[in-house]
Structure 1
């Protein structure tokens, strides 16, 4: 939820956020929020300040460009692996169909298989 808010710019760059504030807003203890802060900090979306919460670094054009470059590299590698001799195309088609079906039904658990 917090990642989505940062990426959609609902929570703006430079905005200060606290463990307690986010925990209260979401209705959870501070432990899962602390873990979320660590993940978001590792992803470069926030900067954690000890005993002060965190500040949102946000997302800029360079970050977006880097994400698309990484995606292009991953997709091209996936295509290369899928097109190797001996690749079971029917299995790939089954997985693709199942993913599309799960997505259409908004079933994220099935989509993660």
Structure 2
């Protein structure tokens, strides 16, 4: 038979936060990267499960090719990048959540 530990001596497993929002892309064209992060909100104690989850993620962004100098001189329409994920609502009362887009090319 196994023993059951409860109360103040019970193991406490590690816990990580939810993922934060994606940071801005480090490039506007030609392929860049953006990151998002999370953090340890409770460390493992008393033999609980350790944090083995990743605390950061990277993804590709701005993968469209950059324009040459000649192409930049041609007239073109404004172009916006995709919307980011919605941010978290924090606090109490009137809460707002935001998302953003990157201006890829001005008109």
TM-score (normalised: structure 2): 0.24
Q: Which has the higher strand share?
A: 2
Larger RCO, structures 1/2 (Cα 8 Å, 6+ apart): 2
Structure with the higher fraction of residues in helix conformation: 1
